[in-house]
């Protein structure tokens, strides 16, 4: 089998992790790295001696490449990804796919015209724990979903041009839309800019999904305890996904409350409580970035649509855009319902299951 | 010293804890208990042989009492407390003081006319950990307060006539107004009624305080993990108060971020991170209900105004009322700024310090 | 049904908990309390108005009692329990039953001659979590038991006349003999007297059970973190019992290692690792002291032999005696194998199941 | 400055971590890797394209090298390290330095004769948390050390030829001798071979240090919860070092007990309890393997004696040897007191401070 030839644009904070994964995969050849920083390029050249480096990403595109990974600041994603697609290269772009839904739609169009794979790095969708939670919910093991609560806080890396909503919330938004297999109907945001006058570093977000399922996301760059926690409350069971926990990332609680229809003449509801076992299912650890990279290469080779394709990227950008807008006045924003999505569960081989 | 003669109305879920504390205090004589349930009265009579019991609380008021503790369902507080005050009895009433601000104002008026002590059982204000946090904030050790986040969730006891906002939020609202020494300017609520169609069991509340200090309260009767946690983020330090934790209830984190004014020609902010020690100060445990009971008896004897007096009760009821109203449409409610408050720190003897 | 008439001797540190339980049980009448301290007796008299109090326990024995609970310092157990038995009273005595195996045998003899119930307060045997663990082991769910590790440490209450082995180890020794249903063949102890020159406050104990099952107990009065933890490692599963944990006291780990018989010509073993789910079974909480008190009353009424009868008490005293002896020179002590025991699981009604 | 030329022998389980560190240091050139496995060598060649690989480590020694890192199975350390030293190469050898004290002495002699650096990979000595604990103890902040308890358990990797004492205990033994700056006078071991009949996988070790300071090490390959915890109890403060914890690895507890000399006529000791704050000092994380590698290169360049030099290696081997011997009969072994040691604290630059 021929190796897929890959170039990476951007080797800053997150880029080296992507580079390492593509460099180590047997069916892939890492050929070039572009970055504006000569210092970073030298570090990469020392670590990956055979790989060409350049400060001009366009030079990279002229080499014999099949695919490009874009890992630059968000506001540059659209231009760079578009340039790549127009050179007939498959593209994996970091989240958020773009900084506006218009740009996201544009990328989808270009990718469609050129018949190239356009995939977004919604890494958590490739996380074994999230996959496990998704299967549990799809199998109905939690019952009807009552609500979902997500917390992603800690001492964050401030960016003068990006706020905490654009930085952290795409993770949770991509997880929520994936788990629920739907777009929210309505979103709202409140936040505060504590450290820098124009950069929100704390935000509380509500997303209401079809069926009135309330979900809430708390994001903060300014919290003493690193927390990455999602609580899914269903009518039959409750589950938590704690990404900071080493061994028991997912816990399923066989407990809940039921309101029994009034049987007496007073018409009073009775509440029935259920307490049962707590199970932490064994989840084989796989580095999500590796699973994501393999899925990308697989889609490049087969032409399959990635789980986190351009549409998934557009969904997340659309939601973040609406949250950002709501953040200004605290008023809710209705989400355009025309978007379609088809998130799937990965099967054991890393391929998407329909 | 003569013993203060006390009667208790209501011996349901929470009442026995209050009864036990008043029964065990040396400067107090528990004389009577009223409850609608004969079964509960029998249990109390067995445990406290000398105490008279009755199903009609008005009978209690005719006995030789100095003070009454009201621990009945919230919608009965106003009537019962008023009856007691009008019998010239001092009153300690459970939180929420009443179910409407109008009723709360009425009680304050009656207490003033009769010159009686009216105190509300905002127990957390008498909690050593909250007191310790309050002193820290007042001393300026945390710097300027950026925001406060509160979480109070678990598997709750459902009431068909009370929702989670009226049941749990008074705790956090009383803590927040006490810690910040102020009323919020604006509040907003979103919630969901998951188990019973008309009873909200999950709610997300934002309270904006003077100076733009954002505070958020998450309350839920439907969460797998009991959590009681308040995070106070200041410009100098951060602190957490975890009431579920046994030994390290308060933790102070010497860490944070600062935005340094732009010095270069690009006008870019620099962010300065600080990481330091984490300290869990030793806090001598005292049962908050006991401290509260002693403070009540002290106020009865001295005529002092309690820390959690009728005004404090009115503040909490006003805020909950506004939150409840906001819960219907998600729109913010402005809080009437005329209310004044004067929460204080208890000194070592349990007396209020001005 | 007639109420069993009970007297309690000793109302110091632990006594009030026993007194409260006997006072609250419907089929029991608490008639008298003896203690050397007049102050303590006054506190008890205030709390239990109908109960007679005395500083001379022998006075108590002349009243119309059916049974006595002995909760005095260990070195007084033998004399007091013997006096009670010889007055034809049933006896529940706190652990350790006596301070020498000779005294323990003597009490067993007296109880047998008088045909009275002699029961020891090995409270942990009546703990729902220990009962659950016992059932699991007896059902074979853990497979063959490889070894057991027990830790009981924290900042302890020092006694000038009792060391940490006599104070804390009886808990773990009674749990281990109960869980394994056997006496150790050999024990050994090492320790240190850190704070007071003649009182060991730290000790490491090994007890080797039939089949070579190694068990180890770490006890310390001088540790910063309160820990109460037992780890049972079986060939099929591993389990932990963490008594400090609120919700997940018992956890069962479906993991382990197996040595596969050599199949290749090099004769090398292969090691097979198994990783599976972690389950925290729901355990309905019952106050162990209450279960113990009910079991005692049941035995008094029916004449049944208690799970923790005199023989169980003798076993623990014999083992502690041997450990204490070993503590002097670090040399192992062989345990007299003639002792027989018959610990059982309580059934749902609190009665012993054979 | 010329780069130190380094070769690595052994690229199995642990080797790749050492290789990565030496490959990334600027003042070092990784020139060759030897391993018996061609598969592993190919993986290394792919990752480090310029580095020569060979299945015969002696070939490596003929290249232009300054120093060699030996990371092979323990029983091969002596022969390989000796071959390297005799080629006038500096040597860093993994722990345990050798499998007998005789071999350890031999290596020390050869290194002395050839005037080469001989250093052992007691990595935990280069761990910032251990360094911090050491400074605290040396500064007297904990007071007199009462005892130390160490636990290192989890599901381990079984080796048919090495037991848990040789595999895990060298870590704790090297930490204990480093922290206390002394050799134990007496050691004893008890253990069990649960999974494989001849390989101990569970062991309890006591090491008595000068002044009667008791230390205890629990090691197990067969425990459900990964634990790496050391508790140091001093007369003034207590400290814990929890290597599994992310943020609060070191905690200092300002609590303890004191026995006050008898003042009353009964001659009874009074016990005085102290409860104070808990502090988790901020510790800047540095990868211990990196600090160790830098220290090695520094010693190679300057000729300085490493903190974990051959003598430190001999100490650990001597103690493990005695423990292994004791494991057979449970009888204590006296340690030869002639050994001298000079462990030091690293200063901020990574150089040893006398």
Confidence grade of residue B342 (pLDDT, cut at 50, 70, 90): very low
Residue length of chain A = 354
Q: Which domain holds residue B301?
A: 4-124+289-310+345-353
The stretch B16-34 carries a mean pLDDT of 93
Across chain A, what does the average pLDDT equal? 92
Nearest CA in chain A to D247: A225
> Can you read off the two tokens belonging to residue A144?
């009807």
The span from the CA of C79 to the CA of D324, in Å, is 48
> Can you read off the two tokens belonging to residue A252?
């399923």
On chain A, the residues whose CB falls within 8 A of the CB of D24 are 47
Residues C57 and C13 reside in one and the same domain: yes
Residues B147 and B245 reside in one and the same domain: yes
Residues A118 and A186 reside in one and the same domain: no
Residues A41 and A76 reside in one and the same domain: yes
Residues A85 and A174 reside in one and the same domain: no
Nearest to B50 among C24, C49, C244 (CB): C49
Residues A108 and A165 reside in one and the same domain: no
Instruction: Please indicate, yes or no, if residue A149 is contained in any of the structural domains.
Output: yes
| Segment D263-287, tens digit of pLDDT | 666 667 788 999 999 999 999 989 9
Instruction: Please indicate, yes or no, if residue A344 is contained in any of the structural domains.
Output: no
Residues C80 and C156 reside in one and the same domain: no
Which value, in Å, is the radius of gyration of the alpha carbons in chain A? 21
| pLDDT score at B245 | 93
On chain C, the residues whose CB falls within 8 A of the CB of B246 are 226, 244
Spell out the long-range contacts of A276-279 with Cβ–Cβ below 8 A and sequence spacing 24 or more: A276/C282, A277/C279, A277/C280, A277/C281, A277/C282, A278/A251, A278/A252, A278/A253, A278/A254, A278/B224, A278/C247, A278/C248, A278/C279, A278/C280, A278/C282, A279/A251, A279/A252, A279/A254, A279/C277, A279/C278, A279/C279, A279/C280
| Segment C291-301, tens digit of pLDDT | 999 999 999 99
Neighbours of chain D (3+ CB pairs under 8 A): A, B, C
Q: Which of D238, D267, D287 is the last residue of a domain?
A: D287
pLDDT by residue, tens only, chain C of 354 residues: 689 999 999 998 889 999 999 998 989 999 999 999 999 999 898 888 789 999 999 999 988 999 999 999 999 999 999 999 999 999 999 999 999 999 999 999 999 999 999 999 999 999 999 999 999 999 999 999 999 999 999 999 898 789 999 999 999 999 999 999 999 999 999 999 999 988 999 999 999 999 999 999 999 999 999 999 999 999 999 999 999 998 899 999 999 999 887 766 666 778 899 999 999 999 998 999 999 999 999 999 999 999 999 999 999 999 999 999 999 999 999 997 555 544 444 443 434 443
| pLDDT score at B347 | 41
Instruction: Please indicate, yes or no, if residue B337 is contained in any of the structural domains.
Output: no
Across chain B, what does the average pLDDT equal? 92
Nearest alpha carbon to residue B32 among B60, B12, B67: B60
Residues C242 and C301 reside in one and the same domain: no
Instruction: Please indicate, yes or no, if residue A35 is contained in any of the structural domains.
Output: yes
Residues C218 and C301 reside in one and the same domain: no
The span from the CA of D220 to the CA of D217, in Å, is 10
On chain C, the residues whose CB falls within 8 A of the CB of A280 are 277-280
More confidently predicted of D26 and A265: D26
Nearest to A49 among D49, D244, D247 (CB): D49
Residues C175 and C59 reside in one and the same domain: no
| pLDDT score at D262 | 72
The span from the CA of B275 to the CA of D281, in Å, is 10
Q: CA of B241, closest CA in chain C: separation in Å? A: 19
On chain D, the residues whose CB falls within 8 A of the CB of B277 are 279-282
| Position D109 pLDDT exceeds 60 | yes
Q: Which residues of B touch C (CB under 8 A)?
A: 24, 47, 49-50, 226, 244, 246-247
Nearest to C49 among B49, B246, B247 (CB): B49
Residues A245 and A295 reside in one and the same domain: no
| Position D341 pLDDT exceeds 70 | no
Instruction: Please indicate, yes or no, if residue C346 is contained in any of the structural domains.
Output: no
| Position A264 pLDDT exceeds 80 | no
Taken in order D343, D349, D351, D352, the sign of the CA dihedral is negative
Nearest CA in chain D to C277: D224
A257 has which bridge partners? A273
Question: Are D224 and C216 in contact (CB < 8 Å)?
Answer: no
Least confident range from B259-263, B299-303, C174-178: namely B259-263
Instruction: Please indicate, yes or no, if residue D16 is contained in any of the structural domains.
Output: yes
Number of domains in chain B: 2
Nearest to A158 among B214, B231, B271 (CB): B271
| pLDDT score at C267 | 64
CATH assignment of the domain containing B53: 3.40.50.720
The residue among B148, B200, B210, B222 with the most chain A CBs within 10 A of its CB, best to mutate, is B222
> Can you read off the two tokens belonging to residue D130?
């251990």
CATH assignment of the domain containing C223: 3.30.360.10
Nearest alpha carbon to residue D233 among B104, C37, C155, B285: C155
The span from the CA of A313 to the CA of A121, in Å, is 9
Nearest to A280 among C247, C278, C281 (CB): C278
Predicted structure pTM score:
0.93
Instruction: Please indicate, yes or no, if residue D323 is contained in any of the structural domains.
Output: no
| Position B346 pLDDT exceeds 60 | no
Q: CA of D48, closest CA in chain A: separation in Å? A: 8
| Segment B90-122, tens digit of pLDDT | 999 999 999 999 999 999 999 999 999 999 999
Q: CA of D49, closest CA in chain A: separation in Å? A: 7
Instruction: Please indicate, yes or no, if residue A348 is contained in any of the structural domains.
Output: no
Q: Which residues of C touch A (CB under 8 A)?
A: 247-248, 254-255, 275-282, 284
Q: CA of D279, closest CA in chain B: separation in Å? A: 4
Question: Are C277 and A275 in contact (CB < 8 Å)?
Answer: no
Residues C67 and C196 reside in one and the same domain: no
| Segment A62-120, tens digit of pLDDT | 889 999 999 999 999 999 999 999 999 999 999 999 999 999 999 999 999 999 999 99
| Segment A283-323, tens digit of pLDDT | 998 999 999 999 999 999 999 999 999 999 999 999 999 99
Could you give phi then psi for residue B274, rounded to 5 degrees? -125, 125
The DSSP line for C186-251 is: EEEEEEE--SBTTB--EEEEEEEEGGGEEEEEEEESEEEEEEEEEEEEESS-EEEEETT-SS--EE
Question: Are D275 and B282 in contact (CB < 8 Å)?
Answer: yes
Q: Which residues of C touch B (CB under 8 A)?
A: 24, 47, 49-50, 226, 244, 246-247
């Amino acid at each position: 089998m021929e190796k897929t030839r890959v170039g990476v644009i951007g080797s800053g904070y997150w880029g080296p992790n992507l580079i390492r994964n593509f460099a180590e995969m047997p069916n892939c050849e890492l050929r070039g790295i572009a970055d504006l920083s000569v210092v970073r390029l030298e570090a990469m050249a020392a670590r990956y001696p055979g790989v060409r480096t350049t400060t001009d990403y366009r030079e990279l595109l002229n080499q014999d490449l099949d695919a490009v990974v874009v890992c630059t600041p968000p506001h540059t994603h659209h231009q760079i990804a578009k340039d790549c697609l127009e050179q007939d290269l498959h593209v994996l772009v970091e989240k958020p796919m773009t900084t506006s839904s218009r740009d996201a739609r544009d990328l989808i169009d270009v990718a469609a015209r050129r018949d190239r794979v356009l995939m977004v790095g919604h890494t958590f969708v490739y996380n074994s724990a999230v996959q496990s939670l998704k299967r549990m919910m799809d199998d109905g093991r939690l019952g009807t979903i009552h609500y979902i609560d997500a917390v992603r806080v800690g001492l964050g890396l401030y960016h003068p041009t990006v706020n905490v909503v654009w930085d952290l919330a795409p993770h949770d938004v991509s997880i929520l839309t994936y788990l629920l297999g739907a777009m929210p109907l309505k979103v709202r945001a409140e936040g505060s800019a504590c450290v820098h006058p124009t950069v929100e570093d704390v935000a509380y977000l509500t997303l209401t999904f079809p069926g009135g399922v309330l979900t809430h996301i708390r994001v903060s760059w300014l919290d003493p305890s690193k927390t990455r926690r999602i609580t899914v409350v269903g009518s039959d069971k409750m589950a938590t996904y704690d990404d900071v926990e080493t061994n028991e990332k997912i816990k399923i609680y066989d407990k809940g409350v039921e309101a029994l229809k009034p049987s007496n003449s007073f018409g009073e509801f009775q509440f029935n409580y259920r307490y049962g076992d707590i199970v932490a299912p064994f989840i084989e650890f796989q580095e999500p970035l590796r699973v994501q990279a393999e899925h990308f290469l697989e889609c490049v080779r087969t032409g399959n649509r990635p789980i986190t394709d351009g549409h998934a990227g557009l969904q997340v950008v659309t939601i973040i855009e609406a949250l950002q807008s709501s953040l200004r006045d605290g008023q809710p924003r209705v989400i355009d319902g025309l978007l379609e999505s088809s998130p799937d569960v990965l099967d054991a081989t890393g391929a998407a299951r329909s």
